[in-house]
């Protein structure tokens, strides 16, 4: 199903040691662990943003995807509609480990704040000065139909002029991000079949 009047403006994949934009690999790295990989990507893109180093893995993943897509984006009213399967479980497990002994004496606010999946959208909003709509959905797998319905409604009702949508999942060391911007003008028709195809083409 396609939506007349809107297009996929750009898209980005981050998985298996690679970051690509619109199908073109921009960065690849042999690091086996995500923290080393994403730090190398941060340097490669000459990102000057010290808050990055305080973020949890999920936020770093979403942040870098948004860097690739929103770096030269001038649209202030860009809504964020993200989704994943593992919510913030990677950080949840860290908080759980900290509280398992000593009746929670080792709980840290710097960890606890990241035990919500929408925090990564807060990080993107701060970085790109987006005072826009944010929604975080949990699905068993990437669901372009529901994300597209939701993006359509934000665009049709004028709540947003563009929407950064997609999938950003971090679980047990595995990472998978597929983000895309829906706008009036763009590369490809805004179509759920197209999105499914792009998601699978890594």
Partner 1 sequence: MSNIYLSHNNIVSAYGFDSASAVDSIKNEVSGLSLVDDSKILPNPFYSSLIAQDNLSKAFQKLNPQEDYTRLEQILLVSLANTLKESGLELTDRVGLIVSTTKGNIDVLDADNPFDQNRAYLSELGKKIETFFGFKNEAIVLSNACVSGVLALAVAKRFIHQKRYDHVFVVAGDLVSQFILTGFNSFQALSELPCRPFCKTRAGINIGEVGCSVLVTKDEDHLVNESVRIIGEASCNDANHISGPSRTGEGLYRSVVSAMNQANIEAEAIDYISAHGTATMFNDEMEAIAFNRAYLQDTPLNSLKGYFGHTLGASGLLETIIGMYSLHSNTLFASLGFQELGVSQPLNIITETTAKESSIFLKTASGFGGCNTAAIFQKVNS
x/- string (CB under 8 A) for partner 1, residues 51-80? -----------------------------x
Question: Under a CB-based contact definition with an 8 Å cutoff, are residues 47 and 40 in contact?
Answer: no
How many chain residues touch partner 1 (CB under 8 A)? 50
Closest distance to partner 1 from the beta carbon of 154 (Å): 8
List phi, psi (to 5°) of 85. -105, -35
Residues 142 to 171: which contact partner 1 by CB under 8 A?
Answer: 143, 146, 149-150, 152-154, 157, 159
Q: Give min distance, CB of 191 to partner 1, in A.
A: 15
- Residue 112's beta-bridge partner residues? none
Does 40 participate in binding partner 1 (rule CB under 8 A)? Answer: no
Strand segments (E) across the chain: 2-15, 18-21, 24-28, 78-84, 134-138, 162-171, 174-183, 188-191
**According to the binding rule CB under 8 A, does residue 122 interact with partner 1?**
yes
Least Å distance between CB 147 and partner 1? 11
For position 93 contacting partner 1 by CB under 8 A, the verdict is yes
Q: Nearer to partner 1 by C-beta: 4 or 109?
A: 109
Q: Which of 132, 177, 194, 195 binds partner 1 (CB under 8 A)?
A: 132
**CB of residue 41 to partner 1, shortest distance in Å:** 21
Q: Residue 137: phi, psi to the nearest 5?
A: -110, 150
Burial of 177 (0-12, 13-18, 19+ CB in 10 A): buried
Closest distance to partner 1 from the beta carbon of 80 (Å): 8
Report the distance separating Cα 44 and Cα 183, nearest Å. Answer: 28
Give the CA angle between residues 40, 44, 50 to the nearest 5°.
Answer: 70
């Amino acid at each position: 199903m396609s939506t007349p009047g809107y297009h996929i403006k750009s898209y980005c994949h981050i998985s298996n040691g690679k970051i690509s934009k619109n199908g073109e690999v921009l960065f690849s790295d042999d690091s086996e662990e995500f923290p080393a990989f994403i730090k190398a990507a941060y340097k490669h893109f000459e990102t000057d943003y010290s808050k990055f180093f305080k973020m949890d893995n999920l936020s770093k993943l979403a942040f870098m995807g948004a860097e690739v897509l929103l770096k030269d984006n001038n649209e202030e009213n860009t809504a964020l509609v993200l989704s994943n399967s593992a919510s913030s479980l990677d950080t949840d497990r860290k908080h759980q480990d900290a509280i398992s002994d000593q009746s929670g004496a080792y709980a840290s606010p710097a960890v606890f704040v990241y035990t919500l999946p929408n925090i990564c959208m807060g990080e993107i909003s701060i970085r790109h000065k987006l005072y826009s709509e944010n929604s975080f959905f949990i699905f068993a797998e990437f669901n372009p139909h529901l994300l597209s319905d939701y993006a359509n409604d934000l665009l049709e009702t004028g709540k947003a002029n563009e929407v950064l949508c997609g999938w950003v999942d971090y679980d047990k060391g595995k990472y998978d991000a597929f983000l895309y911007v829906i706008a009036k003008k763009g590369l490809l028709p805004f179509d759920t079949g197209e999105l499914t195809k792009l998601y699978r083409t890594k």
